[in-house]
Amino acid sequence: MPYYLIVVLQAFCIYHCYKNRNETFWYFVIFFIPALGSIAYIIIKAFNKRDVEVLQNEITTIINPTKKVNDLKAQVDFADTFQNRINLADAYFEITDYNNALNNYKIALEDNYGDDYHIIEQIVDCYSKLGKHDEVVTFADKVKTHRDFNNSRLQFLYGIALHHLDRLDEAEKELMQINQRYSNYNERLHLAKFLNASGKTSNAKEILLDISSEAKHMTKPNRKKYRLTIMEVEKLLVEYN
C-alpha cells in the first residue's frame, strides 16, 4: 500500500477514534501497526457505526477540509436560500473559520428578521471563541427572555463573557443557572473555578463534590466522555482540602 494512503488511513482512524472516544489501545494499534491496524480499526469500529458514504466524507474532510465549504458556497451562489446560507455558516464553523461563519450567520439572521434564537446562539459561540466578550453580551441580551435560554450553553457563554468584563455579580447569577445535577459537567467545573477565584471556596468545593459523587453513577460511555473533567475535579478537590 502506498505510504501516503497509509498516512491518510492513520489520520482518519485517529480522528475517528478521538471523535468517538474509543478505547485508548486503538491509538497504539494504529500507530505501531499502521496499515493492518488502521484497516482493523475501520472494520471493527468505523463500519459498525457509519455507512460507507459517511466514511468517505470524513476522509475527504481530513484530506481537504475546505471542500465542503467550497461545495456549499457553490450552492449559495446558485440559490441564496436561508438554509443554504446556514449550511455554509455551519461548515465555516466546523473548520474554525469563525469570522466567515459570523458573516454568513448574520446574513441569515437579517433574512430571518433578526429574531432566530438558534442563529443568535451560533453567533454568540463564534464571538466567544474569538474572545469578543462585548459582542457576546450584546447578542445574548437579545434572547435572554427566550424559553430555551435558561440552563443552556448560550447562558453559560453569556456568564463567561460577563466574567471577562468584570461584571462578576451578573456573571455568577448566570453561571449558577447551569449548576444542574447529573448534567453540564464541564460547565459546572468552570463554575467551581469561578467561585474559587471569587473567594467562595466552600461553594466551589460543594459543586466539585457533587460532580465527584455523580461520576460514580455514570454509565461507562459517560465516564469515558467526561474522563478528563472528572480527573480535574478530583485534582481540585485535593487542592481545596
Averaged pLDDT, 57-82: 80
pLDDT in tens, 168-185: 999 999 999 999 999 999
Q: Which residue has the cell 458514504?
A: 53
The pLDDT score that the predictor gives to residue 41 is: 74
Average pLDDT along the chain: 86
Q: What is the 3-state secondary structure (H, E, C) of the chain?
A: CCHHHHHHHHHHHHHHHHHCCCCCHHHHHHHHCHHHHHHHHHHHHHCCCCCHHHHHHHHHHHHCCCHHHHHHHHHHHHCCCHHHHHHHHHHHHHCCCHHHHHHHHHHHHHHCCCCCHHHHHHHHHHHHHCCCHHHHHHHHHCCCCCCCCCCCHHHHHHHHHHHHCCCHHHHHHHHHCCCCCCCCHHHHHHHHHHHHHCCCHHHHHHHHHHHHHHHCCCCHHHHHHCHHHHHHHHHHHHHHC
Across 8-22, 92-106, 174-188, least confident range: 8-22
Q: Could you tell me the pLDDT band of residue 230, with boundaries at 50, 70 and 90?
A: very high
Say if residue 123's pLDDT is above 60. Answer: yes
Say if residue 78's pLDDT is above 60. Answer: yes
Domain borders along the chain are 3-63, 179-241
Averaged pLDDT, 5-17: 79
Residue from 23, 25, 91, 13 nearest 50 by CA:
13
CA gap 110, 226 in Å, rounded: 38
Residue from 140, 91, 26 nearest 83 by CA:
91
pLDDT in tens, 38-60: 777 777 766 654 455 565 566 66
Averaged pLDDT, 189-203: 93
Cell (9 digits) for 109: 439572521
Averaged pLDDT, 144-153: 93
Across 50-54, 208-212, 227-231, least confident range: 50-54
Across 20-29, 138-147, 205-214, 226-235, least confident range: 20-29
pLDDT in tens, 161-170: 999 999 999 9
CA gap 15, 135 in Å, rounded: 33
Q: Could you tell me the pLDDT band of residue 20, with boundaries at 50, 70 and 90?
A: confident
Cell (9 digits) for 159: 456568564
Averaged pLDDT, 111-129: 88
Most confident residue range from 7-11, 40-44, 115-119 = 115-119
CA gap 192, 33 in Å, rounded: 42
